[in-house]
Structures are given as structure tokens and as C-alpha cells.
Structure 1
């Protein structure tokens, strides 16, 4: 039973990955997974090990119906929607799979739908992907709301911005998703760790105070754009590091070792593609209180036809749409759940960033017009020298 006393919603999970959404919803007591659907063998290995009694289907296009499920979840592929991806939008072979899912939603009409993807979908092709998604939902009789959230609101030491869209044909979901707003917190003046993206340096740094930049999926044993972390208080040689895979899992709210049933070469991609568990838990907690959150949500400014998509919006099945002014931080984290990035690395491990990676980033940054802290550049110089000396003695 959920906190509100209602029974968990029978749920089917599409594009399941390693079940970040489902872990969060289950932790809130709102979801009972009937089956998963995931085609990647590495993710299927994790699901089989962690959910031994739950069926894992392998082809979303072959699904005939949802077996009467009340909730359908889909963290569908971002390959064609992300800035670093193919930018084909829903015309792409991977992200476009959601169109078939929307057709099945219209046919079998689950009470609730929860989708997740990257914020770039709001802007790519003038927001064509989001327009297609909400238009299909409206035509199927659903009210909807979406919001860009930053995983740091849930206490994670990772700056991860994602769009979550909640739709329902039984009530207005806007109060559930948009009814809380904490506002973006002030920067942590006591931070002892700073994240950055070492593959950047020309046009950006990915700077994050007390957190890492977004963990991203890739095609090799390491993520395509893995985070690096500057620890000013550590000795030279240990100031510029990368998190271990277990630390990265923790940064997603996954149990350290969660992806270990998969081949080692695939674990970073699995973690980078995952949905942050505590974010899904917050949505689940709100959804568990749905009977208390039925009061009409009237905030917002009516969106003009052709207007760009804002960071948060809501709409009704009759096609009316409103922009809603809320932050990416729905609530503040429980203090004891806030991750300390330095402490997390101490517990789960890290490794020095290589000489080549550090030097490449430093040289690009120095040649750019980007602003950076002088002591950060000094730390990069010291790390390059230290790693170069280590190379000559190997």
C-alpha cells in the first residue's frame, strides 16, 4: 500500500535500462512492475539478476498491449534528441520508437503515462518532438504536464537536467508534477570538490560546484564524456580524478554494484543512460498522494500557437497549453540524503585523470576565452607535471 493507502499501480516499463524509474517508483510504494521491455543484452542481464521473477520482453515494436496496466513508463532513447546525438528528432530510428508507444497508449489507454528524456527535445527542430508527443496524448484524451528537473534537488551530487512528462486520462497531473517548488539553491560556499568535463575546454567547462556534470552514455568501457573532479584539499596526483564505476552508480542513486551483472565494458554506458532513482522516487511520492492532489491547478500563462516550449508546461485534452513558472528544484533534499562528493569518492574510489586527458583539457582551456579560477589552472598544471613524471618512471 502507498502512503495514501491506495494500492500500487500495475506498471509496465518500456526502454527499461537498469530500472532507475521503477526503483524510484517502487521505493515510493506507488508501482508494481508487471514486466520490463529492454532490447540491450547488457541491460537485460542487470534486469534478470535484479528482478529474477519479472519477465523482460525484448522488442517494444512487438508489444501487443499493456495487459491492463494502469501506468506505463518510458525513458525512451535520446540518441536522436540530444545535442551530442544524431539530432534527427522523432524521425530518427531510435528516439522515433516512442511514436509506436504513443499509438499503443491511444489504443489501450492506461490511466497514467510517465516519460523521460533530455531537455534538448524542447528545442530541437523548434520543439517538434515535444509537440508530437503532447499532441498525440491530447488526441488520446490525456491531460499532461512536464517539467525539467535537476537531479541535485534530490540530494545527488550530479547536475543532471532531464524532462519528465506525466500524463493521465483520469485526473489532471499538473498539481502532482508542478505543485511543489523549492527554487534553485545558492551555490555551496563550503564545497571541497568541483566537477568538470575534461573532454570540453573549447566552448565550455561543465563546471559544477560540489557535484559532477551530467554522467553520459557512451559506446566503450568509459562514458563518452566522463566527469572529472578537482579536489583542492588532496595531494598533487590525487587532486584531478575520475570517479569509479561504483561512485558513478551512487551518483545516479543506484546501489553501488547495481550494474555488475553486465559485462564490464558496458557498465559506464548503462549508468550514463540511467534515470536518477531519487528523482523517480519524488515523482512516485507525489503520485502516491494523487487522491490528495486533485485540486484544480490553475497556474500558468496560455501558450500561443507556435510558441517555443518553456522549461515547464501543462495541457489538457482539448489542446489548451500553459507555460508554468517553476524552477528545476521541486523540493529541497533531506539533509542526511545529500551526497558529499569528496566523501563519496573516498568511500567508492576514484582514479587520477590521465596525463593525456588532463593536458588536452588544460591546453584547450588555456587557449579559449573561457573564464576559470587561477588555482584550478595551477592544479591542472601540477597534475600534468606529476603524471608526466610518473610516465617516465614506469
Structure 2
């Protein structure tokens, strides 16, 4: 069984996506109150370890397992790769540094155990590719095992690419949820990296044959099945102001519609909250948690392709 550890877990799109594939979470890590309550409601037997900055030490001390896959979406700001090597943490990129340190700790323990290195899956907004501080280049350099940040060939990083460093091979690609059957536009950068021998991250994110993920699927014509989402972001949930256009006028989308737009089961976030029953769960924290999550079908697609690559090694 392929295992994973999840950081910045939110409401766990990874688990919703990967459990049906036979993958299992060994631990989660989320600090926000409402998403943590969602995790406790749905996954009471999976520990939520909270602060991800403490996890590398726990992995090294064998307090927690070193899983096959590390998945998360940390905030990404610029930091000094050289500073990271000497332990001089830049607070602007602390969580990103801790994410790389956690990946390194997992690989260290797995090597001692005679296991192959882990696969790293990371997600962020497309703006990271054009960050003035070259945050993405810092992240790539740290993951690849280089002594300094990597620089883009032009003014910004391309929407897709590969890096083969001294420590890990890395691939990244912008994927849009609308091309995975969801009724919203949601572009995100996904990074897959690993030091596994024979593992090619590019084979996970890039399709060499078959249907490409840049053609919007056909929509059912029945008005009761894919209402039109309108928002400043062109139908994305990021703006927290998504609406439905109906014959009677415009109304705000419901929490269930947001869940469907992200690929979650209906009422996934309708949970008992602050000593009140699920029926009294407020909409506010539900909207925020859903909007901050990953799109489940995109993560499931990545999971399937990860399994194909890992199984080829067996």
C-alpha cells in the first residue's frame, strides 16, 4: 500500500482523491480550527499533527512515519537557499524551507530503512512563477539540492518545465480544474519531485499521448445540472464571490455548489461545529475552507499517474 503524509492539509482534497485509489494517509498536518474539525470528523483515526514546522524533527526521531509521498501546498516566498543550508531561516519563506527540510528528513529515514526516496507533490498559485523575489527558483534550487536559487531562462518561469538536480528530478505544470470536469476555472501550479532511481516526474505531469488537459469538457445542456458560475475571477472560487446566473436573476452559490465545483461530496464540510450540530454549521468557514482547498479531480489524476510510475518500479 502506498502511504502519504499531508501538510497544510486544509480539508484534505488529497485524501478524498487518493483513498479510492488505495492510498492511505499516515498523518495530516493542519492548524486552522475549522479545517481541523473537518479532518477530525471524517478521519478520526488519522492523526492531525498540527504545526508542520515540527515534523522534520519528528520524522528523524522516528516519532512519526516517513511516508512514500509527501503532499502539501505551502505559502511560497523568496528565501536564501544558502541561508537554508546554514540554518539561517528567512521568516518570509519559513514554511517553504520547512517543507523542503521535511522532504529531506523523510528521504534520510527512508534511506536508513532501505526504502526508495519519497515522491514530493506540491501545489501553489500561478503567481509564484513570476514572483519578483524568484520564490519559485529558490524552491526549485532547494528541492534539487543546489547551493543557490535557480533562475528562469526569461523574465518569469514557464507554465511547465523540468529540472534535474544533484538531489532530485523535478517537473512542474499549471493545471486548470475546468479541464478535469469541474464547473470552474482554477489554475494551479503542481510540482512533482523525487530522488527515486528511474522515477520520472515529467511522466506524471506531462501526457505524451492521448487526451491533453487543455480542452474544456462538454457541458450538459440541462439547466438543472451545470449552472453558470460568474465572478471577477471568471468563475473561480478564489475570489470568495461566486454567483449563479439563473432565469430569475443572479444568486450567490451555496456551500454544496462550492463543494461540487471542487469535486468534494455534497455536504462534506457540513459538520458539528463549536458544540452545535451539523445542521447549524455556519456557511462562512465552509466557504473559506472549500475555496482554499485543492480541486479533487486534479489531485486524483496526479495520484493515478503517480501510482503508474511507482508500480513500474516494482
Class of the TM-score when normalised by the shorter of the 2 chains: 0.7 to 0.9
Change (3 A) 1:92 1:124: farther
1:129-176 deviations in Å (ceiling 9; x for gaps): 211111111107111111101111211111111111111111121111
Which of 100, 115, 126 is the matching residue for 2:122?
115
8 Å CA contact 1:28–1:282 kept in 2: the answer is: no
CA RMSD of aligned residues (A): 2.6
In the alignment, structure 1 residue 278 sits paired with structure 2 residue 297 = yes
SS in 2 for 1:56: coil
| Distance in 2 of aligned mates of 1:123 and 1:46 | 33
Change (3 A) 1:49 1:225: closer
8 Å CA contact 1:176–1:293 kept in 2: the answer is: no
Runs (4+) of structure 1 moved beyond 4 Å? Answer: 90-93, 186-193, 291-294
Corresponding residue of 2:135:
129
| Distance in 2 of aligned mates of 1:189 and 1:138 | 41
- Consecutive unaligned residues of structure 1, counting only runs of 5 or more, are 1-6, 82-89, 201-205, 208-212, 217-223, 295-394
8 Å CA contact 2:240–2:287 kept in 1: the answer is: no
Count of aligned pairs:
251
Change (3 A) 1:286 1:196: same
Alignment of 1:163-312 (within 5 A): 163-170=189-196, 171-180=199-208, 182=212, 184-185=214-215, 193-197=227-231, 200=232, 206-207=233-234, 213-216=235-238, 225-231=240-246, 234=247, 238-261=248-271, 262=273, 263-264=281-282, 265-291=284-310
> What is the deviation of 1:188?
6.0
| Distance in 1 of aligned mates of 2:105 and 2:128 | 25
Change (3 A) 1:48 1:186: closer
Corresponding residue of 2:110:
none
SS in 1 for 2:48: strand
> What is the deviation of 1:196?
2.1
Change (3 A) 1:46 1:148: same
In the alignment, structure 1 residue 25 sits paired with structure 2 residue 18 = yes
Change (3 A) 1:194 1:175: same
| Distance in 1 of aligned mates of 2:20 and 2:264 | 12
Change (3 A) 1:186 1:276: closer
Corresponding residue of 2:184:
158
Corresponding residue of 1:337:
none
> What is the deviation of 1:285?
0.9
> What is the deviation of 1:293?
6.3
In the alignment, structure 1 residue 11 sits paired with structure 2 residue 45 = no
> What is the deviation of 1:10?
1.7
Change (3 A) 1:260 1:72: same
| Distance in 1 of aligned mates of 2:285 and 2:217 | 34
